[in-house]
Amino acid sequence: MAIPKYHEFMKPVLELLKDNQIHKRVDMYKVLAMQFQLTEEELEEWLPSGKQLVYKNRIGWALTYLKKAKVIESPARASFRITELGHKVLIENPEVVDQNYLKKFEGFQDFINSTSNNTLLDNDISDIGSDESPQDLLDRAYKTISNTLADDLLTEVMNQSPDFFEKLVVDLLVSMGYGGSKIENSQVLGKSGDEGIDGVIKEDKLGFDKIYIQAKRWDTEKTVGRPELQKFVGALTGQGASKGAFITTASFTKEAKEYVSKQHACKIVLIDGKSLAALMVEHDLGVSVENTYLIKKIDTDYFNGE
């Protein structure tokens, strides 16, 4: 069972509050998580931003919309209680309580109309996806933009020369913090390097530990098989190396992955085209920021001050 959509928490929230008592949001998280029998994995699933757990975010939006419809109220910070209007909803016992149902209430209509861009908000709530909160919509849009960017980035990489690609993979590892993020601790060997080794990065200033790199700018539809990995392992052995990264624009066969997993003398990390593009986006290599959207929330520390 997947984590319920935010509107699927609405009716359970009302039922939880029907005792007329004030319930703290933190306690409601626990009760609703148990009611929906969320797994440990689901309880630990974070938003892409890493700022909040998914199930807590969705419960939060359910509370927000119910409060806007005035079927619940918040007599104290992060605490909620059902209203008379909320009791009427429970008596009516609709099959589903969602944003379309809440539109019957004046308070929710006021909420929709209160924004200067009410058409967009109304579309966000009803037309675009009735089971998605604004945060869900934002996360989905972010993923779509990131995936599209990654595809475009991989296409651009394929338009570059093999020499450029060898430099790119070294730059990527440096961007990820290997070599102390200093380019002088890395080296592109290229054609002058040993067979099967295209670059090397020092993990410490004195170079006691190094990461050896193999870079393959192959057609994205091709696959890297076990023979190529065997050659790389042989090259690592010849260097007395214990760590290697095989980076390609293609993908790896199942046999290649299994072969690498059985290597104990040296640790090898495989990075295929999709992973390469995603890492470039994550570590700002070959990309730049086009727009920034800041999602803000109440600063409770400010209001707790004397």
Please choose, from the candidates 20, 112, 104, 12, the residue with its C-alpha nearest in 3D space to the C-alpha of residue 62: 12
Pairing of strands 186-188, 72-76: unpaired
Q: What's the Cα-to-Cα distance from 13 to each of 175, 222, 282, rounded to whole Å? A: 46, 52, 37
Say how many C-beta atoms besides its own lie within 10 A of residue 168's C-beta: 20
Whole-angstrom distance, CA of residue 243 vs CA of residue 117: 54
CATH class of 6-132: mainly alpha
- Residue 244: the pLDDT is 94
List the chain domain ranges. 6-132, 161-282
CA torsion, ordered 283, 286, 290, 292, to nearest 10 deg: 10
- Residue 117: the pLDDT is 44
Say how many C-beta atoms besides its own lie within 10 A of residue 25's C-beta: 15
- Residue 89: the pLDDT is 98
What are the b/e assignments for 245-265, b being 16+ CB within 10 Å? bbbbbbbbeeebeebbeeeee
- Residue 183: the pLDDT is 53
- Residue 128: the pLDDT is 36
CATH class of 161-282: alpha beta
- Residue 137: the pLDDT is 85
Pairing of strands 223-224, 23-24: unpaired
Q: Which amino acid is at 135?
A: Q
- Residue 198: the pLDDT is 87
- Residue 206: the pLDDT is 64
Q: Which residue is associated with the tokens 């199930």?
A: 55
Digit-by-digit pLDDT tens for the chain (306 residues) are 799 999 999 999 999 999 999 999 999 999 999 999 999 999 999 987 788 899 999 999 999 899 999 999 999 888 999 999 999 999 999 999 999 999 999 999 888 776 434 444 444 444 334 467 888 888 888 887 888 898 889 989 999 998 899 889 989 998 998 876 555 555 565 554 446 788 888 876 666 688 999 999 999 989 999 999 999 999 999 888 889 999 999 999 999 999 999 998 899 999 999 999 999 999 999 999 888 888 888 888 888 765
- Residue 193: the pLDDT is 46
The answer to whether residues 170 and 202 touch, using CB atoms and an 8 Å cutoff, is no
Q: What's the Cα-to-Cα distance from 221 to each of 92, 253, 260, 272, rounded to whole Å? A: 57, 12, 21, 11
Q: What angle do CA 106, 3, 118 make, to 5 degrees?
A: 30
pTM of the model: 0.63
What are the b/e assignments for 64-85, b being 16+ CB within 10 Å? bbbbbbbbbbeeeeebbbbbee
Backbone angles phi, psi at 204, to 5 degrees: -135, 165
- Residue 205: the pLDDT is 66
Residue ranges with strand state E in the chain: 23-24, 72-76, 79-82, 186-188, 199-202, 210-216, 223-224, 243-248, 251-252, 267-271
